[in-house]
């Protein structure tokens, strides 16, 4: 199956861009973080197993991630936009073995800007819908437009967890940049631009691949 991949420093907007690309290509958007949080919200066995790991900003085990991915495809799905996978080299090797990787987008953003963006994120404590106090503001302050639930800061967006996630990012995930660059699959996009500009840059790359 064909796929596009997004990875980034947290806060650079991969979720938004992955969603745009999924709508444009008709590929299924697979957001691993959301799938994990859904399990936690549903209070499943898997959710209980991973909730503490997510809360402290550690990585969930590779086997759990592979199972989640295997279970996530819609029938007739023609391709996938991965958002938050892979996050280490073992996962990248798994990806290369099981998927035809069209392009890997690394959304680059300096750490200070990333922290500023993360601190404006909110999530509905009831249905899990994401908001941003700058770019995706709820109609009523602190309340979910969809279900009326209370908007809260994600546990893993709190300062101590953010610091740990950045450390993990630099330790493990950054190596992905070299991994995909060596294989000629990497496109680095400056994520400090506005949402529309980042999206246009991604679309131009996708179009140039398709026309080759």
Q: Give the angle subtended at the CA of 69 by the CAs of 1 and 59, to the nearest 5°.
A: 130
Cβ atoms within 10 Å of 27's Cβ, excluding its own: 21
DSSP code of residue 59: P
Q: Is 156 in the site for ligand AMP (CB under 6 A)?
A: yes
Cα(104)–Cα(21) distance, integer angstroms: 12
Q: How many residues bind ligand AMP (CB under 6 A)?
A: 18
| Of the candidate residues 84, 109, 166, 206, the single one contacting ligand AMP (CB under 6 A) | 84
Map residues 4-43 to x or -, x wherever contact with ligand AMP holds by CB under 6 A: ------x---------------------xx--x-------
Stretch that binds ligand AMP, among 22-30, 39-47, 49-57, 202-210 (CB under 6 A): 49-57
Q: From the CA atom positions of the chain, what is the Rg in Å?
A: 17
Q: Which residue is nearest to ligand AMP (CB)?
A: 33
Cα(30)–Cα(106) distance, integer angstroms: 16
Six token digits for residue 68: 């989640």
| Of the candidate residues 29, 103, 121, 165, the single one contacting ligand AMP (CB under 6 A) | 165
C-beta of 61 vs 148, nearer to ligand AMP: 61
Cα(132)–Cα(39) distance, integer angstroms: 23
Can you give the binding site for ligand AMP, defined by CB under 6 A? 10, 32-33, 36, 53-54, 57-60, 65, 84-87, 91, 156, 165
């Amino acid at each position: 199956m064909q796929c596009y991949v997004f990875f980034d420093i947290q806060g650079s907007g991969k979720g938004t861009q992955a969603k745009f690309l999924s709508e444009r290509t008709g590929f299924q958007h697979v957001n691993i973080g959301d799938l994990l949080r859904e399990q936690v919200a549903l209070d499943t066995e898997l959710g209980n197993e991973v909730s503490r790991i997510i809360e402290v900003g550690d990585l969930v085990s590779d086997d759990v991630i592979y199972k989640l991915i295997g279970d996530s495809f819609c029938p007739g799905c023609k391709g996938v936009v991965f958002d938050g996978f892979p996050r280490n080299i073992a996962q990248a090797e798994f990806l290369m073995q099981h998927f035809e990787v069209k392009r890997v987008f690394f959304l680059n953003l300096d750490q200070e800007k990333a922290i500023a963006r993360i601190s404006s994120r909110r999530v509905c404590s009831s249905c899990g819908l994401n908001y941003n106090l700058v770019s995706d503001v709820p109609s009523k302050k602190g309340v979910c437009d969809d279900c009326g639930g209370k908007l809260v800061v994600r546990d893993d967006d709190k300062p101590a967890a953010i610091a740990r996630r950045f450390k993990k990012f630099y330790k493990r995930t950054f190596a992905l940049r070299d991994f995909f660059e060596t294989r000629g699959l990497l496109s680095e996009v400056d994520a400090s631009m506005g949402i529309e500009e980042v999206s246009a840059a991604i679309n131009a790359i996708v179009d140039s691949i398709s026309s080759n």
